[in-house]
Amino acid sequence: MTDKIETISHSLMPFFKLIALVIGTWLLTFPILIWFYGKPLSAGEVGDMFGATNTLFSGLAFAGVIFAILLQRKEFELQRNQLELQRNELELTRAEFREQNETLKTQRFENTYFHMLTLHNELVESCNYDFYSSETNVSERINGREALAYIYSDFLEQCTTAGKRLFPSKNQNTPENINREYLEFYKKQQHNLGHYFRNMYNIVKFVKNSSVDDKRLYTNILRAQLSTHELALLFYNCASDMGKEKFKPLIEEFALLKNLPENILLNSEHKFFYSKLAFGTAL
């Protein structure tokens, strides 16, 4: 505000000088006219003497009007510049607010995401498998990822026992047969696999529906948590009716089977149950 007053005062200085010049000119005009025309003998002659002076004052008055217009124009220009600066500051404030808002959104997303990931690891640790050794006649409970490895081995054994040798025969190696075998197996292991796969599906769905830019970063973090046997179980779970409709498209979109070794599958031809995208390969 102080700078604005100083600017206006500086702009008015020429006007004050002009007023002083007009008054000085008027005071000097009278003696000059007497010297030039002589002493006036009547009031009419006095008026005639100041005719030229009046013309001068009229011109100066017009010049004053022009000066006032120019001064007002300058004032408007200063106001316009000030408004422009305020508008720029407002845009910067809005940009900072948007950036802060995006940062808060990312923080909220990551808080929820890593909480879900922690829950996933807790579900893994809660998985259990009762292993009986015929040699030692001792039953042992195995937990965590090792339990999931034994669970997957049971699935392999179920599919290759006597009377169920489906997979060496190529014409029986179909998605329908795999689906039937897995659903039968899932009934026995639902207490281990039910919460496990539902939580994993919700993690991937949460990332899919989020507004974060690099969604692959977060699905890659999840994929890095999965062991080889977990990937194999995920493969057959989502090739079956348990996950074919909703989970399988997400697996293909985010290449969740990228680290799955082909030799761990029941049959190498089963990889064609999925598009190449599921294994991180372009179509």
For residues 265 and 210, membership in a common domain is answered with yes
Is 112 domain-assigned?
no
Same domain for 147 and 199, yes or no, is: yes
For the stretch 229-251, pLDDT in tens is 999 999 999 999 999 999 999 99
pLDDT at 72: 79
**99 and 138 assigned to the same domain:** no
Domain that holds residue 216: 127-279
Range from 44-53, 173-182, 193-202 carrying the lowest mean pLDDT: 44-53
Residue at 220 is within a domain: yes
Alpha helices (runs of H) in the chain, residue ranges in sequence order: 2-37, 43-49, 51-126, 144-160, 175-209, 215-224, 228-239, 247-253
Q: What is the pLDDT of residues 191-227, one digit of tens each?
A: 999 999 999 999 999 999 998 989 999 999 999 999 9
Judging by DSSP bridges, how do beta strands 128-133 and 138-143 pair with one another? antiparallel
Our count of domains for the chain comes to 2
For the segment 128-170, what is each residue's pLDDT rounded down to a tens digit? 998 876 677 778 889 999 999 999 999 988 887 744 555 555 5
The pTM (predicted TM-score) of the whole model is 0.65
The answer to whether position 113 is within a domain reads no
Q: What is the pLDDT of residue 101?
A: 75
